[in-house]
Amino acid sequence: MRFFLTICTIFFFATSAFAAPPAKEFGKLPKIYDAAISPDGSMIAAFANVNEGYGIGVYYIDGSGRKSFAIGMPEGVKPEWIKWANNDIVLASIWQNERIRSVPIRTGFLYSLDVQKKDGEILIKPDNGDVKGSRIGSGSFFRQFNNTVIDYLNDDPDHILMSFTDETGAGALPIVQKVNVRSGKYKRVQTTLPQVTEWTTDLQGRVRIGEGRSTMGDGKYSMHIYDVNSKDWSTSKKYPGLDADDNIYGFTANPNELVIGRYNGKDTRGLYVYDLQSKSLGRKLFHHDYYDARNLVLTPDGKDILGVRYLSDVSEIELIGNKSDGIKWVREKYAGYNVAYIDSTQDFSKVLVKVSDASEPGTLFLADNRTKTTAAVSKYYEGLPSREMGSVISVNYTARDGQKIPAYVTLPPSITDTAQLKDLPFIVLPHGGPYARSSGNFYYFAQFFATRGYGVLQMNFRGSAGYGKTFMEAGRENWVVMQEDVEDGTRWLVEKGYADPERTCIAGWSYGGYAALMGSIKNPELYACTISIAGVTDLSDLIHDQKRYIGGRLTAKNSILSGFDGSKELKENSPVKRAKELQKPVFLAHGTGDVAVHFDQFKRMKSALKKSSVKVTALEFKDEDHYMSDQENRIEMLEALEKFLEQSVGKSEHMK
């Protein structure tokens, strides 16, 4: 695969004055998506916004005078992550939507960029095809995932370990291959094991754990463990207290210490050490009383555990033992902001951090640990200055059964005192997933509504991730409870006098779009309008779509069917079956290439709404994905949404 080469300056700062940002500024893709610093600290690579789409940019920071450059990606190709393999090679994980036998799927690829040649190519191809139109070549052999890296082999900068298969057929299992980062040539390191689809290495770069799950029957889990002493593989059954369905997080510096997730008598999931040599559960690494552990954070050289990441209002890291993250001084310098570690040189002399908060989209900084100085590299959203964004408040409200529901309220920028929080037009904005969550980080969609003069309520209804097992399973086992938590949030706004009941709308994306439609159907008196973007509308059809994917039958069973009591309840909770009950204006938007929620969900709802008397605005975007990743499409959608709100509830007096 060849990318189109464009030479341009990709990083710069501007400090001009701004008026209230127009919808177009919210529709623009971020200036950068992900960034990494070269091992020698002389260059920064980033997914950068190039010509209204993403490209791979390289910026020189060594004072050599070399010019920055960017490689543009073909239309439809999206960024995932970027990392330096060595001082010459940048690895970039990318993805795109395709159709295989009429089924929309997401495919992934790994692009290797040689910064000396200013050129690169796809590292591992499933065939010998090249770019066809705007797509990555797909010949006689199809492989969905060509970008699964399991170890970057810090001691071997010319190679990485990847997981993929060269066999055809739906049942082909991935094996571990050692891949040259320049040529793409590879050599098998680990062969297949029964049911194994995921591999984990220890911190010495050895393949140690293989996990998987049967896609048939009861979905039985399987775990295989490699013993470094006996040089043999065995199943988890030979390790007392270690279960095949345990969440594996990695290893400590000791190759016999496996890190697993356990509740261990608490409702939240913590991290514990399992000793593979003594075959026993050992010490606790981390266990928070209120939040689940998310993942391990390793030292820059990848040789040890630095800390454990969890999500409170923002992403946080609890350091292990007496270790330091090396950027305490940066956190002190930007006190009051969220300072997020992005990448660093292996000696930790230079570090990339993102400084942001709920009202500040963020700036990428280069921090120098030797001189204790920082330099701004790029803003993430140049056209969205923090002074024009709304304040975000963390709140809790009580659901009908007494459960406390954590939530965030974003205020219009003109509201500078909570005493002004009275009779505002409001947008109730449940998150997608549904087993995800909202946080206190900057969210362009919420700020878009706030700058239009609306208050915004984002709640973490039951089923939201990160708050422990009971809270999540309460939603997973009862989708109606999730809907009721959203409804109770709206009623709380009205009862407190915060929201004007005549100018409160409900909006959402994906599951949130589903919740918006169902909320207006079940409680038409609460909402003046409904906004559903890439929303689920037909649960039975969603289940059918899920079953078309490998493992989808189990996903449907555990993530959708588990939340309803039979087909009657599925029908009662499908917006498409009750479209005629909608009484207020409806806004729908969907991409034809959506993999997560197929486009036919939109078509069914649009057709069903013809039986209703409500005014409908329905936008469809050709080849667009679930996230409206195309900049022109996102801008068009937000500009149309702004008009829809003005027509439905009138222009807010709080819009600047």
Task: Please write the tens of the pLDDT for every residue from 333-386.
Answer: 999 999 999 999 988 999 999 999 999 999 999 999 999 999 999 999 999 999
**What one-character DSSP code corresponds to residue 155?**
T
Angstrom CA distances, 233 to 104, 249, 387, stand at 37, 19, 58
Tally the domains of the chain: 1
Amino acid at 257: E
- 66 lies in some domain: no
Mean pLDDT of the 479-493 span = 96
Mean pLDDT across the chain, nearest whole number?
Answer: 89
Q: Is residue 267 part of a domain?
A: no
For residue 405, pLDDT beyond 60: yes
The conformational region for residue 454 under phi > 0 = left, psi -120 to 50 = alpha, else beta, is beta
Return the minimum-mean-pLDDT range out of 294-303, 446-455, 584-593.
Answer: 294-303
Contacts of 605 (CB under 8 A, 6+ apart): 517, 532, 535, 537, 538, 575, 576, 579, 588
Please provide residue 365's backbone torsions phi and psi, each rounded to the nearest 5 degrees: -115, 150
Q: Would you give the distance in Å from CA 321 to the centre of its chain? A: 29
Among 71-80, 169-178, 515-524, the least confident range? 169-178
Dihedral (C-alpha) 592, 593, 598, 599: value to the nearest 10 degrees? 0
pLDDT at residue 547, rounded to an integer: 75
What is the per-residue pLDDT for 97?
86
Q: What's 505's domain CATH number? A: 3.40.50.1820
pLDDT of residue 477: 84
- pLDDT number for residue 209: 96
Of 193-207, 356-370, 552-566, 627-641, the poorest mean pLDDT is in 552-566
- The answer to whether the Cα torsion of 429, 431, 434, 437 is positive or negative is negative
Any domain includes 423: yes
- Whole-number pLDDT of residue 2: 32
What whole-number percentage of the chain has pLDDT above 70?
92
Q: For position 13, what pLDDT does the model report?
A: 37
Answer yes or no: is 479 within a domain. yes
Model confidence over 276-327: pLDDT tens digits?
999 999 999 999 999 999 999 998 889 999 999 999 998 889 998 888 878 8
Of 132-146, 556-570, 608-622, give the lowest mean pLDDT range.
Answer: 132-146
Confirm whether 33 is domain-assigned: no
Does residue 181 lie within any of the structural domains?
no
Best mean pLDDT range from 10-19, 63-72, 99-108, 636-645 = 636-645
User: Does some domain include residue 619?
Assistant: yes
φ, ψ of residue 81 in degrees (nearest 5) = -150, 165
Decide if 87 is inside a domain. no
Q: Which two tokens stand for residue 564?
A: 């309803």
Residue 132: pLDDT over 90: no
The backbone torsions φ and ψ at residue 194, rounded to the nearest 5 degrees and listed phi first, read -50, 125
8 A C-beta contact, residue 429 and residue 507: yes
In which domain, by residue range, is 423 found?
A: 390-538+567-649
